[in-house]
A and B are shown apart, each in its own frame.
Chain A
Amino acid sequence: MTRTWVWLIAMLAMPALSGDGIFDEYRDLMGDDNPAIFVIDEGEALWFEPQGPLAVSLEGCDLGLGAGVTEGAYALFPRYFEDTNTVMDVESRLLHCMETLQGRDREALLKKPYSLRGDLGTELEALVTWLAAESEGAIIAPQQAHSSERAMYSLGEEIFFYRAGPHDFSCATCHEQSNMRIRLQTLPNLTDHDDAAATLGSWPAYRISEGLVRTMGWRLQDCFRQQRWPGLKLGSEVSIALQTYMAVNAAGGVMAAPGLKR
């Protein structure tokens, strides 16, 4: 339904506009509305729904601010957790809670964390979307108090500039310069505070072209696909290190997610 509408607008607008124009127009038409509101509601319902062999909800999940505290928690990720002795992003923390609190099987949870094109969304995507909405207006403030958190930033910076693969691409190939485009798509300079803040603050995002909410974990996987690198594992050190690098560069920015993207 939504997608039909999107393409109708896209086709009507196409001859007159170029570039992000059709998406800008779509955003204007939507005003403050975002199709992700349905995903937010779904995520909230999933948080309170007893699930897994232990039939409990995620209300006991500690996202860093204490068990069950969801407001403002997303804006503080990635962060160190004592109970796992690791730095976690919001996605790996949610999986940890599903495993430990609800008794669910990790392998099963990792089978399909993100939607394929044409799907209607996954549980993880919905939960992340709701949690991001619970941080709307919050200041991006990734934790850097613990030495593991600072080490994660340094690792992320190193990986950001690591060139590899048949095309010699690194993250920096596309994301270390300001005001550049690939084809018509504007590229954020993720080494720059303002660009990093605008980017971090708008993920997860409803992708108009896919009719789905996508998470930052998915965004990184898709970047590496385009970099011609192998597949990035969800919750891997590379994923968390890069999210830490971006989040620290974005620190002080404001969360405005879920965003609305092309």
Chain B
Amino acid sequence: MVSALTLSSAVVSSERLDAVLMESFVDNGQATMERLQQDPVQQACHQSRTEPPDAAVAATLRQQRLDAVVFPADGNFLGDWQRGAAVADNGRGLQSSDDPAQPNGGNCYACHQLAPDEVAYGTLGPSLTGYGARGQSEPMLRYTWTKLWDTHAYNLCSHMPRFGAQGILTQQQLKDIMAFLLDPASPVNQGLR
């Protein structure tokens, strides 16, 4: 631990880091080398490690993310909660070992508690059990959609993936997740049976 602290001050140049990454990885099915190139958000969040970047940079980046959010063209935010439950449960998608012809999952349970009778949930994110108690007002719908579409619009450098902005989930899948979170009939909002 002491050695870790004393050594951590050494700096690795970005050129050196790029060269090492290019030498150390190879294309692996759909997981190709261009995935190692960082976009501005990834770069800012990497450089700042666990702390957000400085306030001005953070505000600019957040606003850019917010401006880029695409809302449902038909104005309808809510799909089918049963299909949403399946998306939340599915951990596959975009790995070299996954079939690109199959739909991607959201893998929500990896990090969040949702339906209270699913015990296999992770704890990296907050529990979302009972999320629908906050209702379905327009601000609530837009807030939740934005959070799913691009979490960095509100919480820069959050650990959560950008499910809409990065094309991980389709608009229909996001609507189904919305229903899973917000529909009063969804198990997320039922309490333990």
Q: Let me know if A231 is at the binding interface, CB within 8 A.
A: yes
Q: Are A163 and B46 in contact (CB under 8 A)?
A: yes
Q: Are A230 and B161 in contact (CB under 8 A)?
A: no
Given contact pairs A151-B10, A168-B162, A238 touches B95 in the complex (Cβ within 8 A): no
| Contact with B24, one of A184, A225, A232 (Cβ below 8 angstroms) | A232
**Interface-forming stretch among B59-67, B79-87, B115-123, B178-186?**
B115-123
Residue in A closest to B163 when the chains form the complex, CB atoms: A167
Q: Let me know if A261 is at the binding interface, CB within 8 A.
A: no
Q: Are A183 and B94 in contact (CB under 8 A)?
A: no
The tally of residues in A whose CB lies under 8 Å from a CB in B reads: 53
Q: Let me know if A229 is at the binding interface, CB within 8 A.
A: yes
B15 contacts across to A, CB distance below 8 A: none
Q: Let me know if A166 is at the binding interface, CB within 8 A.
A: yes
Q: Are A248 and B3 in contact (CB under 8 A)?
A: yes
Q: Are A228 and B124 in contact (CB under 8 A)?
A: no
Residue in A closest to B38 when the chains form the complex, CB atoms: A164
B25 contacts across to A, CB distance below 8 A: 224, 229-233, 236, 238
Q: Are A230 and B36 in contact (CB under 8 A)?
A: yes
Closest chain-B Cβ to A218's Cβ sits at a distance in Å of 14
Q: Let me know if A154 is at the binding interface, CB within 8 A.
A: yes
Q: Let me know if B7 is at the binding interface, CB within 8 A.
A: yes
| Contact with B168, one of A167, A172, A173, A225 (Cβ below 8 angstroms) | A167
Q: Let me know if A158 is at the binding interface, CB within 8 A.
A: yes
B42 contacts across to A, CB distance below 8 A: 163-164, 168
Chain A residues close to B by CB (< 8 Å): 18-19, 144, 150-151, 153-155, 157-159, 161-170, 172-174, 176-177, 179-185, 187, 191, 193, 224-226, 228-233, 236-239, 241, 248-249, 251
